[in-house]
C-alpha cells in the first residue's frame, strides 16, 4: 500500500505541473490587466504604477513569470491578492473549510439517497417503485443547479419562510443555537448539490446492481439457500459499488463546478464565490491559486477512489 501511494503521488506531480503550466499560460495571455485601474487613477503617480508592475513582474515574459510563481509556491508563497490586498493563502484558508463542508455534506446526502433507492429499484426492476424512482432521477439530473436553487429559494424562503436564502458566516448565536442556525442555512445548498448528484448516481447504482445480479456467483449464492438480503448486501452491492466509486471520482470536477454556481446563488463565502469575484476583478493570483486548489482536490479524490477499490474488491492488488 505504501509503495502504491508513493507511486501515485509521484505520478500526480507531473500532472499538477502540467495543469499549472496550462492555467498560468491561459491567465497570462487572457485580455485585461490587473493594474489597469491604476492607469486611469490620477491620484496614483506613474512612478508608483511602474514600481508596482516591476515588483509583481507583470511586464516579464510568461515563462519567467511562471518560474517565479512556481518557485514562490514551492516556498509556501501563494501570491498577493490585488483586489483584497491580502495574501492569497489567507483568503483560501478562510473560505476552503466552508466549501469542503458544503460539498462533503452534499456528497454524503447524495450517496445516502442514491444507494438505497438504486439498490431497491434494481431488486424490483420495472416495478412501480422503479418507474417512479427513474422518473424523479431523470428530472433531477436534467435540471441545472442554478434552476433548482432558485426554486428552493422561492418555495422554502419566500413562500414558506422556513429557511434563510443567504448564507451568513457571522452568526451571532452560540452553542446549540449556533449549530441550529448553521444547519438551517446549509439545508438548501446541500440539498441542491446532493439531489443533482444523487439523481445521477441512482440510475448508475441501479444499472450496476442489475449487471451484478446476473453473474454466476450470485446465482450460486442463492442456490445455496442464502437469504435474499444477505445475497444483495454481501455479494451484489459490494461489487456493484466499484463502478459507482469510479463515477464519483470522475464527477468531482462537475461537483466543484456545481458548487461554484451554488455558492453564488446562496451567497456562501467559499472558494467558489472567491473565484467568481476574482474573475470579475481580474485578480489573477487568486484565480490561479483557486483553480490550482480545485485541481489538487480532484486528483486527491481520484486517489481516494483508487484506494477504495481494494477495500471493495480484495482481488485488486496494489503491487
- DSSP structure class, residue 232: I
- The residue among 186, 259, 103, 96 whose CA lies nearest residue 178 is 186
Q: How many Cβ atoms from other residues are within 10 Å of residue 146's Cβ? A: 14
Q: How far is residue 239's CA from residue 233's CA, in Å, rounded to a whole number?
A: 10
Q: What is the pLDDT of residue 7?
A: 77
Task: Per residue of the chain (319 residues), give pLDDT as tens.
Answer: 677 677 777 877 888 888 888 888 888 777 766 666 555 566 666 676 677 677 767 777 888 888 888 888 888 888 888 777 788 888 888 888 888 888 888 888 988 888 889 888 888 888 898 889 888 888 887 888 888 888 888 988 888 888 887 777 777 767 788 888 888 888 888 888 888 888 888 888 888 888 887 777 777 777 877 777 777 777 777 777 777 777 777 777 777 777 788 888 888 888 888 888 888 877 888 888 888 888 887 788 777 777 776 666 666 655 5
80 by DSSP, 3-state: which?
Answer: strand
H helix intervals, the chain: 2-29, 36-39, 46-56, 62-74, 88-123, 128-142, 145-152, 176-213, 216-223, 228-230, 238-250, 252-266, 271-280, 284-312
Instruction: List the one residue out of 256, 299, 287, 302 whose CA is nearest residue 102.
Output: 256
Measured CA to CA, the distance from residue 160 to residue 151 in angstroms comes to 12
The predicted model scores a pTM of: 0.76
Which whole-number Å values give the CA distances from 89 to 72, 154, 227, 231, 272, in the listed order?
Answer: 12, 36, 55, 50, 15
Residue 80 β-bridge partners: 87
Amino acid at each position: 500500500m505504501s509503495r502504491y501511494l508513493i507511486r501515485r503521488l509521484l505520478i500526480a506531480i507531473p500532472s499538477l505541473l502540467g495543469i499549472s503550466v496550462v492555467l498560468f499560460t491561459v491567465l497570462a495571455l487572457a485580455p485585461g490587466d490587473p493594474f489597469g485601474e491604476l492607469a486611469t487613477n490620477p491620484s496614483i503617480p506613474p512612478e508608483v504604477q511602474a514600481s508596482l508592475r516591476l515588483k509583481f513582474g507583470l511586464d516579464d515574459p510568461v515563462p519567467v513569470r511562471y518560474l517565479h510563481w512556481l518557485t514562490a509556491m514551492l516556498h509556501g508563497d501563494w501570491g498577493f491578492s490585488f483586489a483584497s490586498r491580502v495574501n492569497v493563502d489567507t483568503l483560501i484558508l478562510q473560505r476552503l473549510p466552508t466549501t469542503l463542508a458544503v460539498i462533503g455534506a452534499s456528497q454524503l446526502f447524495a450517496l445516502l439517497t442514491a444507494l438505497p433507492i438504486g439498490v431497491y429499484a434494481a431488486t424490483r426492476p420495472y416495478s412501480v417503485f422503479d418507474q417512479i424512482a427513474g422518473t424523479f432521477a431523470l428530472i433531477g439530473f436534467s435540471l441545472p443547479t442554478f434552476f433548482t436553487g432558485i426554486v428552493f429559494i422561492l418555495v422554502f424562503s419566500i413562500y414558506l419562510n422556513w429557511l434563510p436564502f443567504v448564507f451568513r458566516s457571522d452568526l451571532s448565536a452560540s452553542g446549540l443555537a449556533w449549530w441550529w442556525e448553521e444547519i438551517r442555512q446549509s439545508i438548501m445548498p446541500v440539498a441542491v448539490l446532493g439531489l443533482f448528484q444523487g439523481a445521477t448516481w441512482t440510475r448508475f447504482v441501479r444499472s450496476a446492481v442489475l449487471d451484478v445480479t446476473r453473474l454466476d456467483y450470485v446465482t450460486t449464492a442463492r442456490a445455496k439457500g442464502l437469504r435474499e438480503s444477505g445475497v444483495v448486501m454481501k455479494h451484489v452491492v459490494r461489487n456493484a459499488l466499484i463502478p459507482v466509486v469510479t463515477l464519483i471520482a470522475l464527477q468531482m470536477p462537475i461537483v466543484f463546478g456545481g458548487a461554484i454556481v451554488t455558492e453564488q446563488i446562496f451567497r456562501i463565502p467559499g472558494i467558489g464565490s472567491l473565484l467568481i469575484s476574482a474573475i470579475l476583478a481580474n485578480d489573477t493570483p487568486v484565480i490561479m491559486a483557486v483553480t490550482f486548489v480545485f485541481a489538487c482536490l480532484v486528483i486527491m479524490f481520484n486517489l481516494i477512489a483508487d484506494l477504495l477499490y481494494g477495500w471493495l474488491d480484495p482481488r485488486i492488488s496494489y503491487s
